[in-house]
A = this chain, B = another copy of it.
Amino acid sequence: MLKTRTKSKFKEFLLNQGLKSTQQRELILEEFLRAGSHLSTEDLYLRLRKKNPRIGYATVHRTLKLFAECGIAEQRHFGDGQARYEASDQDEHHDHLICVTCGRIVEFEDPRIEQLQVEVAAEHGFSIERHRLELYGFCSDCRQA
């Protein structure tokens, strides 16, 4: 999603919820969109500190949760015990390939798998709300090493 679009969506969200637009929230969103994906609260906090030492971890944490609530970010868990966030691609969905050696994360989307998930769920009387699919293995670089 375009940065400008994302920013205005967040502004609108704040308005609707009776929340305030603050210097910190703008800084955090700016840096979140600038930085690469799948970063932890700590990651983002450290990046922000470099430019603005007056920002608190708690604020970064709370703001990332606001992003998720607003729909401009998604929280992920890749099994290393810490939450990670990535910017939402509007209605786009994707799953992840994770290299267990170097930590590299590759995103993919496979409509066939998505479809089969729905079918399997239906066979068991379930309707799916969301899912999580993560493939852990070795990326090409790490496999030949």
Contact = CB atoms under 8 A, between A and B. Distances in A.
Given A77-B79, A79-B77, A110-B116, A128 B136 contact: yes
Given A77-B79, A135-B131, A140-B125, A110 B120 contact: yes
Interface in A52-70: none
Interface string A126-141: 1111111111111110
A15 B74 CA distance: 47
B113 A138 contact: no
A100 to B, nearest CB: 6
When all copies of this chain in the complex are counted, the total is 2
A50 interface: no
Interface residues of A, number: 33
Contacts of A137: 121, 126-130
Given A121-B135, A131-B134, A135-B120, A97 B112 contact: no
A117 B125 contact: no
Nearest to A125: B140
Interface of A: 77, 79, 97, 99-100, 106, 108, 110, 112-113, 116-117, 120-121, 123-140, 143
